[in-house]
């Protein structure tokens, strides 16, 4: 898959806080749609995300794996698709593309 380019106009909230711990799986789905290649993480995220709200879901995956893979996806997004002067990151349970200057979020 070709890596998609992101523009500064796409800055803002990418994952709302209402997704809770499923936000990590959502991040993996977004990153793979943008060109990140990790088939194992994608399959795990699909399974994890598909069980949203199922109280007695039979998990075949470790949720910690999803969260670790999401960290890898976030790093890839920052290294490969974040526009110059911007970075992806979590704040208050939501995932954003933010303007970034000298190690500080710009608000």
Find all residues with CB under 8 Å of 46, minimum gap 6, and list them: 25, 29
For residue 1, the model assigns a pLDDT of 61
How would residue 107 be classed by pLDDT, with cut points 50, 70 and 90?
very low
Report whether pLDDT(64) > 50.
Answer: yes
Q: What is the pLDDT of residues 35-46, one digit of tens each?
A: 999 999 998 888
pLDDT above 90 coverage of the chain, percent: 59
Q: Where are the domains of the chain?
A: 9-54+70-105
For residue 62, the model assigns a pLDDT of 77
Residue 3 neighbours by CB distance under 10 Å: 13
Report whether pLDDT(28) > 60.
Answer: yes
What are the φ and ψ backbone dihedral angles of 35, each rounded to 5 degrees?
125, -10
Q: How many angstroms separate the CA atoms of 7 and 2, rounded?
A: 16
pLDDT above 70 coverage of the chain, percent: 85
Question: What pTM was estimated for this model as a whole?
Answer: 0.84
Report whether pLDDT(31) > 90.
Answer: yes
User: 63-80 vs 23-33: helix axis angle to the nearest 10?
Assistant: 40
Report whether pLDDT(19) > 90.
Answer: no
Average pLDDT over residues 68-77: 96
């Amino acid at each position: 898959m070709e890596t998609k380019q992101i523009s500064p106009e796409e800055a803002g909230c990418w994952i709302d806080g209402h997704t809770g711990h499923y936000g990590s799986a959502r991040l993996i789905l977004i990153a793979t749609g943008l060109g990140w290649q990790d088939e194992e993480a994608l399959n795990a995220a699909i399974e994890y995300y598909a069980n949203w709200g199922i109280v007695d879901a039979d998990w075949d995956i470790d949720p910690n794996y999803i969260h670790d893979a999401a960290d890898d996806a976030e790093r890839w997004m920052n290294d490969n698709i974040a526009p110059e002067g911007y970075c992806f990151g979590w704040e208050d349970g939501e995932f954003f593309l933010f303007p970034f200057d000298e190690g500080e979020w710009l608000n």
